[in-house]
Structures are given as structure tokens and as C-alpha cells.
Amino acid sequence: MKEFIVPTRKEVSPANQQLFDTLEKNLGMMPNLYAYFAKNETALADYLALQNRKSTLTAKEREVINLVVSQVNNCKYCLAAHTTIAKMFGYTDEEVMQIRLAAINFDHKLAALAMFVKDTTVTHGEPSAETKEALFDANYTEQNLIDILMVIGDKIISNYLHKITRLPIDFPEVD
């Protein structure tokens, strides 16, 4: 069976070495999944641009999306990484579990978002009329809808990359 290896800084292009340096400075580490993107000349920069694009969503809303999609796709790497990030944004362990299950009882607007994201991910882009209506009833806009889908797509990319490569998880693992 093919074994996928996380590249070291020395094994990637000079442009990707600069991104390694920036990520290590900003995150205190180079996450294995990001390092793997660097095996491709442009993929890491492209992926970071997608993740860091301007958005109508808050960082906390984006973490809800990241956690829900990762739960639906059962991506252990992304669940570990985004649980860590969600806690940095102030979510408690209980809130993180509610988010992952799309069963949020601590915030009505986030509950509608999580249900829409779960339904959209499970149905491969065909959420029910009810979850769409609930999203808009919670004061999300069509601009928000586009950003929600951008984050879902972003997370599907990283979920699939990890599920295919099974790179070592370098964040505290979660159940």
C-alpha cells in the first residue's frame, strides 16, 4: 500500500519554505496537513489563500462549519485541529460537541448554520427547503450562503486529503 510521507522544510520549494517559516512563526508549528500540501508547488499557497480570504462570516462561524463538515466526513485530523482552534475562540468542550453533532442549544443563529452545513454536506449540496429556510430566518444572507459554501468546500478538500493520506495527527486527538 502507498505510504504518504510529510515533507520536511528542506524537501519543498523555496516558495513553500517561506510559507513553512510563516506558518511555524504564526502557529508555533507546521501542521502535517499543510506540509503535505507543500509537495505541490502551488497548492499550499492556494489553499491558504482560500482559507484566509475575506468573508462575511465571523471566525467563530467558520469554525462551526469546519467542525460540522469534519464530523460528517469523519476526518480525525481536521476534528482534532478544529477542536483546538474552536477552544482558542472560546468554545467549551460541551459546545464543541454540540457543534460537531449540529445539535447546538447555546446559540439559535449558530444552530441554524450548523444544521444547514450538516444537511448540505450529507446530501452533497442538496439541503432541504426547511434547513435553507431556517438559515435565512436566522438572518443569514445570500452573501453569507456563498461564504458558507466556500468554507464547506475548503474543509472537504482538507478532509479528503487526510482521509486519503492518513498523515499523522499532530493536534490533541478527540473522540
0.85 exceeded by pTM: yes
Say if 130 falls within a structural domain. yes
Q: b vs e for 157-172, b when ≥16 Cβ sit within 10 Å of the residue's Cβ?
A: bbbebbeebebebbbe
CATH (domain of 137): 1.20.1290.10
In a domain, 2, yes or no: no
Its domain, for residue 95, covers 59-165
3-state secondary structure of 124: coil
Residues 79 and 141 in one domain: yes
pLDDT digits (tens, 9 = 90+) for 72-101: 999 999 999 999 999 999 999 999 999 999
State how far Cα 134 lies from the chain centre.
23
Q: Which of 51, 68, 83 is the last residue of a domain?
A: 51
> Do residues 134 and 100 both lie within one domain?
yes
Tell me the C-alpha distance between 46 and 7, whole Å: 18
Please list the pLDDT of the chain residue by residue as tens digits (175 residues): 899 999 999 999 999 999 999 999 999 999 999 999 999 999 999 999 999 999 999 999 999 999 999 999 999 999 999 999 999 999 999 999 999 999 999 999 999 999 999 999 999 999 999 999 999 999 999 999 999 999 999 999 999 999 999 999 999 999 8
Total domain count, the chain: 2
Residues 95 and 35 in one domain: no
In a domain, 1, yes or no: no
Q: Are residues 65 and 128 in the same domain?
A: yes
